[in-house]
Chains A and B, each alone.
Chain A
Amino acid sequence: MTTTFLEHVRSRLALHELRDGQGQPLLILHGLGERSPDATPGAVQGWRGPIFALDFTGHGSSSVPVGGGYTCEALMSDADAVLAELGPVTLLGYGLGGYVGLLLFGSRPTEINGLIIMDGPGLDGGGGRPTSPRLLHVPSSHLDGSTPDPWALAELTSDIRPPSYAVDHVRQIQMMSELDIAVCVASLGRPEWLTAILESPVAVESDVAAALATFAAL
């Protein structure tokens, strides 16, 4: 595994190349509180292209911001920094990484060659509708600069994910990507946003092997 660091806004992002290969790159996005795997996960061993994994801001070997302020859009921007570095990729996201992958695909619909959504921490976020607002608190003794950043854990388990917002993104994929099948849902979990995007003809339920085969053929 080799790691390079991307300077992005005020973050230093760790991008790991888990394995070299020939063809389309695969980018793995981890779940909430996780970090990139040290080695190629068994589920993606069959992928022929290079395999990369990104540590989001506040996770793994990436830098830890001061004072929180996490949003899924900011993490989407982290993943977009990888697009700027590598060019088009296929995305495989666990939990939070699956949702962030959807946001990025909807925002850069011609630069993503398929998204696979897997189970993992942070798949649900804070649900589809706002609940009672509250001031989140993290004791200062917990903020020692290590990862995962407690602010990430606190803020990204309460971010709201309305189904309509996810549908806005999958609609952009449907209209602007050239893929007939663009999003493969390989998770058992079905938060509201994920159920909603499966209404789109470009999003299908699929096991990970079939999904990888679909996108590898592009």
Chain B
Amino acid sequence: MSNEIDTIRSLLPQAQRPDRSRRVDVGGLEVSVVEWGDESSQPLLLAHGGFDFAGTWDLFAPLLAKQGFRVVAWDQRGHGDSDMAALYTWEADMRDAAHVIESLGTRKPIPVLGHSKGGGMMNQLAEVLPHRVGAVINLDGIPNERGFTNQVDRSDMNALATELNAWLDHRRKAGQMSRRADTIEGLAARRKLMNPRLSNEWLKYLVTVGARCDDDGWRWKIDPTLRFGPSGAWRPEWSIPRLRGLHVPYLGVIGTVKEEMGWGTTPEEAFPILPEGAEFHALADTGHFVHIERPDYVAEITVDFLGRVL
């Protein structure tokens, strides 16, 4: 088995597992925190997207660590190696993020970087803890009025009823569910459906860090009770004026190719709502996972930005 893992990982020598890992109590639950780079360097917090995990930074984080950052990431509750919870909300994830920052042992403001949902979380973190956030880098997590591409159209009654029924039906069975066991290739192929632009080599690598090997095959570690939806009461347009109100150095990066997991925000929608003085890059021929499709370039503009604003 370890030979198979070694072979898969050897095909992506630029990907590196973290240098350190620890667990942080977030109020009874524990989340897994990992770090790349020298412990005495400038901390930089990374927040992954929904249904991802800290291992999805294995390509990108080492590039930042090489440039002198202590790169810190955590698995959100129910994801990766963190504890599973009985209940999940955005607000609980926000509290967990604050606990991770608290665990860094510094009261100085630190730069934060988030992808997708993690980008939205870091936007909010800069609002609720402005004295702890020194800069925000948002990777394809800039809101628009339509919400996520997979969010239901509430004006379509059948769509709403279908979403709510499917979510409740899932909950009725969720307590007995486990993730489906498969081969490494099988899990990678299933993830490809949601990450169609990412290479098979990368997706297989992700299986080796984000799944566990049971007697009957590989399973993603993510909590099987988690499921997209329901959209709930939150309206995506509410976060737009909040973004404009942030007074922190801000770098926004979006991919311009729409895909399943993306929010579909266009450059024309994104730029006008960013904080005053924000820097903005819209990457051509790049999808939602900007830091995985173009790790070197996104790391370069991130380091350049932080070098000027910190």
Contacts and interface: CB of A to CB of B under 8 A. Distances in A.
Interface of A: 7-11, 57, 63, 65-74, 76-77, 80-81, 84, 106-109, 129-130, 133-138, 140, 143, 155, 159-162, 164-165, 168, 171-172, 175-176
Interface in B188-245: 225, 230, 232-235, 238, 242
A11 B233 contact: no
A176 to B, nearest CB: 7
Most buried by B among A9, A70, A106, A165: A9
B117 interface: no
Most buried by B among A69, A81, A84, A130: A69
B27 A143 contact: yes
Interface of A: prevailing SS? loop
B129 A66 contact: no
Contacts of A161: 233
Top-7 shortest CB links A-B:
A69-B87, A65-B86, A107-B164, A10-B86, A66-B28, A69-B92, A67-B29
Contacts of A175: 157
A161 B91 CA distance: 16
B85 interface: yes
B157 A81 contact: no
A6 B2 CA distance: 42
Interface residues of B, number: 40
A27 to B, nearest CB: 16
B77 to A, nearest CB: 7
B89 A135 contact: no
B128 interface: yes
Contacts of A109: 161
A69 B164 CA distance: 19
Contacts of A137: 95
B26 interface: yes
Given A171-B157, A175-B157, A133 B128 contact: yes
Given A9-B175, A161-B233, A168-B160, A107 B89 contact: no
Most buried by A among B26, B77, B84, B160: B160
A67 B92 contact: yes
Most buried by B among A11, A76, A135: A135
A134 B160 contact: no
A159 B26 contact: no
B174 interface: yes
Nearest to B129: A135
Contact of A133 (B89, B168, B233, B242): B242
30 contacts: A8-B175, A9-B174, A66-B29, A67-B27, A67-B29, A67-B85, A67-B92, A68-B87, A68-B89, A69-B77, A69-B87, A70-B87, A70-B89, A72-B233, A73-B230, A74-B87, A76-B168, A77-B171, A80-B171, A81-B171, A107-B165, A133-B127, A133-B128, A135-B94, A135-B128, A138-B27, A155-B89, A168-B154, A171-B157, A172-B161
Contacts of B238: 129-130
Contacts of B27: 66-68, 138, 140, 143
Contacts of A107: 161, 164-165, 168
A73 B233 CA distance: 9
B88 interface: yes
Contacts of B144: none
